[in-house]
Amino acid sequence: MPPPADIVKVAIEWPGANAQLIEMDQKRPLSSIIREVCDGWSLSGSEQFALRYADGPQLYITEQSRGEIKNGTILRLAISPARAARQLLERIQSHGIDARLEALKELAKLSADPTFATEFINMEGIGTLFLFTRDTFTLTAFLELMDHGIVSWDLISLSFIKQIAGYVNQPMVDVSILQRSLAILESMVLNSHSLYHRVAQEITVGQLIGHLQVSNQEIQTYAIALINALFLKAPEDRRQVSEQQLQHSEMASTLAQKHLRSIILNHVIRGNRPIKAEMAHQLYVLQVLTFNLLEERMMTKMDPNDQAQRDIIFELRRIAFDGENDPTGTEKRKAMYTKDYKMLGFTNHVNPAMDFTQTPPGMLALDNMLYLAKVHQDTYIRIVLENSSREDKHECPFGRCAIELTRMLCEILQVGELPNEGCNDYHPMFFTHDRAWEEFFCVCIQLLNKTWKEMRATAEDFNKVMQVVREQITRALAMKPSSLDQLKNKLRGLNYSEILRLRQSERMSQDDFQSPPIIELRERIQPEILELIKQQRLNRLCEGSCFRKLGNRRRQEKFWFCRLSLNHKVLHYGDLDESPQGEVPFELLSDKIPVSDIKSVVTGKDCPHMKEKSALKQNKEVLELAFSVLYDPDETLNFVAPNKYEYCIWTDGLCALLGREMGSDLTRSDLDTLISMEMKLRLLDLENITIPEAPPPVPKEPSSYNFTYNYS
């Protein structure tokens, strides 16, 4: 007969004594259980003791957290958090250097525990730490204590900020101290508006550039993270600026300057070390924030009565048609200008300023056109003149195309949107040029003109051409070209004929052939293919995956690992000190959940850990990757997948484990792909297709399935 749900069997250790094996009644007060344990070892003053986990982070157990204790857990009797905090404070304030250092080292470990942190902070412990900020352990403890959100960052004194900034500005400082100092400054900026101004006075982006030239990628990551934090929290008038105002914004001009860009390119992106996930995320954030400088121009309408703005349009006309002399007389000049504006491809031939009154793209489109006309003048003139000399029905309207292309590029690169947490989608080529946005536009407008000719398009085909161009650009970006020249090569290979071929190929792989024999074949093989996919998902769960701890915003990442037992009966999981390089043995995963205890799997906003985080607007990306396992008795195991692929693998695998339908996009895609393979074999008159009984080797990536078919 199984034990009652409120009883857990645990072992409790105490130094120098045999462990006690007890059945812990979760309905009894924790103080009563601790008193009983102390009596077993003849220890007096049970109120001075507490229980902690013996493995992993060794957190204190409280009335609120005791529900997480599982059968077979090893606990340890320890001094209470209040007593530990008091003793450490006394040792830190002692005159013995060695004793103080040992106390600080122990404090750095204990500070990650929220129960201990609360006690230490209530004893004014943080104020004491301000007196000893000269070593790694003190800074680590401070960072851990503040990360719990128990006290406000606004309480930090200016002298402390100056001291931490001093470590960052010193030419020679211990790497671990520098790392913690950069992390502390980043947290200050992100968590307090008033501290942003104080930190910005002590640390400039220019001073951080030196830390990007070191060989330590961790330091580089912290430095870029601080640059991003300073930029993200900068007042609107300092970071959203027009091109003409760029020189007046210190932050924007620093981000745009060649020195910073070239150092990131040469020392980070093209360094000798592979880019780690956190560095990739920070580069993505920097890319997004840099492009967001365009938002103000993108959302600015042109004022048709503003002569300075109208002069830009006149300049576009002058550069394109400079060889023709202006006629005398207002009427003749007006008629000729109208003709020229039509040849330039504007929708409003009489007053082209009206073409720039819609946002987005607003004045940003005009900025792009002027850059092309001045910097790539030959290309600009060639595009305009060759279209103006075509038959009317096949001319490519340069002005209309440039405006719509600018809008499209803003959508593709998500100009004006905040960075997504956990996204690593940066493009190296945007760090290879000081005017990467404008150069990207110039490449794409030439592509548009070329595609227009290949499609032999007319004005009625405008939207079709733009759809093809969007597909060409997004496909090329997905290949992650390392430079603008590589982008051009990728786009050359994605001409209109290739896009048609790719579309046809993809359509063939997705087509739902309607002939009765094919429909019958589909229905016959679908259950077998679903079973094949199910086995692949379960195999992936048996291999296991690493997950990041939710809520850890600093670079000191914390991980945990989960995998399914080979007999599919138990989920094993446990904390890790660092991200594993391969499979984690079951012996290292201290916790487990019997599959028979699992009641359901929930996703997104239905997850318990997402309901707690729903107020944070930056968690949209996290919400899409969240899922939870609900199991008896009223317990949950909460996940945030590292990417969409792992999310689909785990949610599908767990549903398969529970005998429920696998419904992710990945399963639907795999099902369509494998059935289409059968369809193609059918079209090739290959009959008697059979699905292999055993599942193939589990792929690491969605593109490497290598499913095997036998035909006779």
Instruction: Give the pLDDT of residue 448.
Output: 97
- Given a cut of 90, whether residue 365 has pLDDT beyond it is yes
Rounded to the nearest 10 degrees, the angle between the axes of helix 193-202 and helix 175-191 is: 140
Instruction: Give the pLDDT of residue 712.
Output: 30
SS3 49: strand
Contacts 24+ apart (CB under 8 A), 372-375: 372/402, 372/438, 372/441, 372/442, 372/445, 373/315, 373/316, 373/319, 373/320, 374/319, 375/435, 375/438, 375/442
- Given a cut of 80, whether residue 340 has pLDDT beyond it is yes
- Given a cut of 60, whether residue 238 has pLDDT beyond it is no
Is the pTM above the cut of 0.95?
no
Q: Whose CA is closest to 350, among 358, 340, 359?
A: 340
- Given a cut of 90, whether residue 530 has pLDDT beyond it is no
190, 229 Cβ separation under 8 angstroms: yes
Domains of the chain (ranges; CATH) run 7-79 (3.10.20.90), 152-274 (no CATH), 299-507 (no CATH), 527-668 (2.30.29.30)
pLDDT, average across residues 119-125? 94
Enclosing H/E stretch for 518? helix 516-543
Instruction: Give the pLDDT of residue 662.
Output: 79
53, 75 Cβ separation under 8 angstroms: yes
Instruction: Give the pLDDT of residue 517.
Output: 67
Instruction: Give the pLDDT of residue 616.
Output: 43
Rounded to the nearest 10 degrees, the angle between the axes of helix 496-510 and helix 436-454 is: 80
CA atoms within 13 A on the CB side of 230: 27
Residue range 621-646, pLDDT digits in tens: 788 889 999 998 788 999 999 888 88
Ranges 135-139, 273-277, 675-679: which has the least confidence? 675-679
Residue range 160-182, pLDDT digits in tens: 999 999 999 988 899 999 999 99
Residue range 448-471, pLDDT digits in tens: 999 999 998 988 999 999 999 999
Instruction: Give the pLDDT of residue 230.
Output: 92
DSSP alpha helices (H): ranges in 482-515? 484-493, 496-510
DSSP string, 617-675: GGGHHHHHTEEEEEETTTEEEEEE-SSHHHHHHHHHHHHHHTT-----HHHHHHHHHHH
Residue range 291-317, pLDDT digits in tens: 999 999 999 999 989 999 999 999 999
Cis amide leading into 527 (omega within 30) = no
- Given a cut of 80, whether residue 604 has pLDDT beyond it is yes
- Given a cut of 70, whether residue 201 has pLDDT beyond it is yes
Instruction: Give the pLDDT of residue 699.
Output: 42
- Given a cut of 60, whether residue 404 has pLDDT beyond it is yes
The larger pLDDT score, comparing residue 376 to residue 68, is at 376
pLDDT, average across residues 125-153? 89
Averaged pLDDT score across all residues of the chain: 85
pLDDT, average across residues 315-342? 75
Ranges 224-228, 267-271, 312-316, 685-689: which has the least confidence? 685-689
DSSP type of residue 60: B
Q: How would residue 436 be classed by pLDDT, with cut points 50, 70 and 90?
A: very high
